[in-house]
């Protein structure tokens, strides 16, 4: 029991980071989206993973060199980067969805779907997964997670109707939800890539890294693929919109600070989650991932509430709280699954 306290504490801590990083997206101005995003992904997906990994993983560069040069490991590297690349598409869609439906609803849909799909795929790929004693509890936890997401989404829809009626603006709720659903499915692939990159973490362990820090080597590879997609799209927009000069726009210091802070929160969540999942064991990526994203909804909605997103929407807000309570129950069931 005590041995499981630390990994779950790490996941709870990671959820605070995960639920907070989206705040930075509210403070992009006066930078263009593509300028802010390029700075964010460079720090979050390259500088921080390499920096933390270099400090915590003995001979990180040797691990990466062996992974990329060993023919037996190259397929692992390719798959891990591919899933990271596909997740990158989802990451871009996240940024597109927030202006349409707000941070709270976007986080609800994306985190719920990403948590469920991102846990289910690795679970079904495990040998004799349906025979595992944890299987029924994991499935129950994932189903309850989806119920919580549905309630959360309904609360966001009701809130949007009130806002639209009050302002007379045309609602983009359907468009925003479709984008968020696509983002949620693609975002699940980040955890799939992390699980598929397990041989890289094992290689790091064999070269002297402790188990929980070895996961950082896996993240470095997965996020290389994610960076290629995100940076490529940002650069495409910079060229298309001829907005390179926006990096020097007056009064952008606050936006840069938020870009850095959002990056620290974002990769801080993944790095700490990876350590917690490694300590849980082989099924850590199945149990820990939906817990991380489900609990992060509590944090993100706290910030959304503070930002006034739910002002004048008391009834939808009560429905939102109900959805969040369901997600907490799902997290408890998933936590219990590892004790079976």
- Alpha helices for the chain (secondary structure H): 2-20, 33-42, 48-56, 60-69, 71-125, 135-167, 173-187, 189-196, 198-206, 211-240, 253-280, 284-306, 314-337
- Percent of the chain at pLDDT above 70? 93
Count of positions (residues) in the chain:
340
With beta carbons less than 8 A apart as the criterion, state whether 203 and 58 touch: no
- At residue 104, the pLDDT reads 62
**C-alpha 164: how far from its chain's center?**
29
Range of the domain at 299: 2-337
225 or 175: which carries more pLDDT confidence?
225
pLDDT in tens, 82-129: 999 999 898 788 777 877 776 667 767 787 788 888 888 888 877 777
Domains: count for the chain: 1
10-40: pLDDT as tens digits: 888 898 898 888 777 778 888 888 999 999 9
Half-sphere exposure of 17 (CA within 13 A, CB side): 21
Q: 69 pLDDT band (50/70/90 cuts)? A: very high
């Amino acid at each position: 029991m005590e041995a499981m306290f630390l990994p779950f504490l790490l996941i709870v801590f990671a959820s605070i980071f995960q639920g907070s990083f989206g705040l930075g997206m509210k403070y992009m101005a006066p930078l263009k989206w593509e300028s802010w995003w390029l700075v964010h992904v460079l720090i979050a997906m390259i500088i921080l993973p390499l920096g933390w990994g270099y400090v915590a993983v003995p001979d990180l560069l040797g691990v990466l060199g062996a992974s990329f040069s060993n023919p037996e490991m190259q397929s692992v590297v390719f798959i891990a980067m591919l899933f990271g690349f596909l997740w990158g598409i989802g990451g871009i869609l996240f940024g597109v969805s927030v202006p349409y439906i707000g941070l709270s609803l976007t986080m609800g849909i994306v985190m719920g779907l990403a948590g469920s799909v991102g846990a289910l795929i690795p679970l079904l790929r495990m040998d004799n997964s349906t025979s595992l004693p944890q299987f029924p509890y994991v499935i129950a936890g994932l189903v309850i997670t989806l119920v919580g997401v549905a309630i959360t989404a309904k609360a966001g829809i009701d809130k949007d109707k009130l806002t639209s009626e009050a302002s007379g603006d045309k609602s983009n709720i359907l468009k925003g939800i479709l984008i968020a659903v696509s983002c949620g499915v693609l975002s699940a692939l980040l955890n799939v890539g992390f699980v598929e990159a397990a041989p890289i973490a094992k290689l790091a362990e064999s070269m002297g890294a402790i188990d929980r820090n070895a996961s950082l080597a896996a993240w470095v590879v997965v996020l290389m693929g994610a960076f290629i997609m995100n940076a490529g799209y940002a650069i495409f927009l910079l060229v298309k919109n001829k907005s390179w000069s926006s990096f020097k726009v007056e009064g952008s210091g606050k936006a840069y600070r938020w870009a850095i802070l959002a990056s620290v929160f974002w990769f801080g969540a993944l790095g700490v989650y990876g350590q917690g999942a490694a300590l849980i064991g082989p099924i850590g990526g199945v149990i820990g991932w939906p817990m991380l994203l489900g609990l992060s909804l509590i944090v993100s909605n706290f910030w959304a509430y503070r930002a006034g997103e739910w002002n004048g929407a008391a009834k939808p807000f009560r429905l939102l709280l109900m959805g969040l309570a369901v997600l907490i129950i799902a997290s408890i069931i998933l936590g219990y699954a590892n004790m079976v």
